[in-house]
Structures are given as C-alpha cells and as structure tokens.
Amino acid sequence: MKVFVTGGAGFIGSAVIRYLISDTDYEVVNIDKLTYAGNLESLKCVAGSSRYCFEKVDICDRAALDELFKKHAPQAVMHLAAESHVDRSIDGPADFVQTNIVGTYNLLEATRYYWQGLPEASKAAFRFHHISTDEVYGDLEGTHDLFHEKTPYAPSSPYSASKASADHLVRAWQRTFGLPTLITNCSNNYGPYHFPEKLIPLMILNALDRKALPIYGAGNQVRDWLFVEDHARALHKVLAEGQVGTTYNIGGHNEKTNLDVVHKLCELLDELCPRAEGGTYGELITHVKDRPGHDVRYAIDASKIQRELGWVPVESFETGLRKTVEWYLNNQEWCRRVQDGSYQRERLGIKE
C-alpha cells in the first residue's frame, strides 16, 4: 500500500512516517513544503528506506498535487499538513486560513479528481484520512465533561477555527461527492522531535539553558496529554480499520494542568540532569500574562476508538514524559540545530 502523508516533516507527521516504515510494509510519500516547523532531520532514521520518498510541495499548489497523484498513484492520503501554533495564529491568522482551509480544499479536490478515475475496486479501497485536533470543540466548563465525537464545534482561536473549517470541508466532500474519508481529533501531543515553541520542549530547553519557564496565567489550564508514538499507532489503526465517514477521538487519558506538567518536568530534570550550580529547575518557573481566548480545559472521551478498533495508549503520562525528557537530553545536537536555525539554512544551501 502506498500512502501520501502531508506535513510529514512535522512533529506528528514524522512520527507517523517513522512508524509506518518501521512497523508496516507501506510505501510512504512525504509531502511537505518545509515551513519553519518542517524538519527532515526528524526522518534521518528512515530516509534511506526504499519505501520512503520526499516531495517538497505546498498543498496550496493544486497543479503540483495533481502531478504527485499521477506520479505515485497512492491508495490512501493521511493529511497532517497544517499551521498549528495558537500563539502564531493570534499574531498572523492569514497563514492559518491559507494552509488549513485553502490547502485542505486543494488537497480534497486533487484527491477527488484522482479518485474518480480509479477502477471501482480501487475507489472502494481508497481512504482520505484527515488528522485534526480537539481544539475544534472549544473548551469544557465542568471538571467531569469530556469531548466526544458528537460534541458541537465551538473553536476559540484562529488556529482551531481553521481546523474546524477543514473538518467541515472533509465531511462535505464525503457527503456530497462520496469521497471515502475518515477524521480523527486528537488531544495535546508530546514526545521526541517536538518543535520547541510548544510547552513541553520549550520548558525542557529553557530549563537546560537556565532561562525562565513562562507559564500563562496561573497555569490552571487542563489538557489531555497523548504520547506522539501512541498517536501514530492510533492513526494507522484508523486508516486500516476505521469506518468510512466516521470520526474518532484520540486521547491519552492524562489530564494535567500546565503548571503540573512543568513541575513534573522540573522534577525529572532535577533527577536526570541536576543543576551544576545547585538549586532546582522549579525555581525558574515564572507566571506571565495569559493569552487572549485561552481555553480552560480539554478532555477527550476516547472510548469509541477503544471499543470499535481496540486501540488504547501504551504510555502513561509518567512513562511518556520520562522518555521525552531523556530524548531531549540525549539529542542536544538536534535541539541546537533547531534553536539556531541551522536545520533550515542547510536545506536552503546557506553556509553557516
């Protein structure tokens, strides 16, 4: 089976590709335009595989997408390409509208055009899997409510609004045109190769550099944390066994406040990499002004995917977080190249 993975040089996309190459016999075509968050160094371990190839293409470029479908003739598309950082969406929403909405539209249309020309058996077997976020649901007011697949959409940020729009487009293409689609909405991912603008890698790297650990407001925002390798397994499970036209929520069963997460990170760093000058990493925690429209609580009901497909996360928050911290401690060169931008300069042919 040959699969297109859009956004395959990103955090979740690269985890999906590493999993597909190492744990399945799929052929994978990585489609990525390589924005700041796209890092091919996250795929070095699979780059030499005969079942992997990379195509530098923007999903907003319809003509280029058509050429890729003709060239590679995939049996499935896993769509992960997206602008995904909430703070960036507040500062500059236009990129999020362009990539997440217009790009998804272009990809759907290119896929539909290709799919309609397939033999009937191939059309029936084809899948378009759109990977989305729990942020489309807004936030939860109570302490016991959970997001389920029928929860009404109520996005709070330009990012989540653009992802909600993309979800609606995918459902419309399935309902109107019959395109065999699947949608998954996941909770907060964490793990190795995470770009350091996100909470967990930012806190780890700031702590190692003895910089402040900034926490929005009181740090009481609650998130459900999902180890990225568990997510990759779930996405493959949905692609292979999910029911067409269905949505599956994927969560880690790990609700934590942001403040609790940072404290746990500091405790692990105190254990694994004590400060030479003495003291604890927790002393670096600083509270800063909250961001506009900050959702209070996300929590996923992942019972459907467990019930119908038999997926449950392997990692607890404690085991996953320890693996994450150990990975960052053992991969300082990858971190340095991301922090100083050399990973981008090298691919652009700019000498250090």
As a whole number of angstroms, the distance between CA 306 and CA 301 comes to 10
State both tokens at 176: 């109107």
Query: Using an 8 Å Cβ cutoff, are 15 and 229 in contact?
Result: yes
In this structure, the number of other CB atoms found within 10 A of the CB of residue 104 comes to: 27
DSSP letter at 259 equals: H
Please state whether beta strands 255-257 and 222-227 pair in parallel, antiparallel, or not at all (unpaired): antiparallel
- Cβ atoms of 186 and 232 within 8 Å: the answer is no
Beta-bridge partners for 30: 5, 54
Place of tokens 């000498």: 351
Q: Of 171, 192, 164, which is closest to residue 323 (Cα–Cα)?
A: 192
Q: How far apart are the first and last CA of the chain?
A: 40
Q: CA-to-CA distance for 263 and 251, rounded, in angstroms?
A: 22
Residues that are catalytic: 134-135, 159
CA dist., res. 281 & res. 18, Å (int): 32
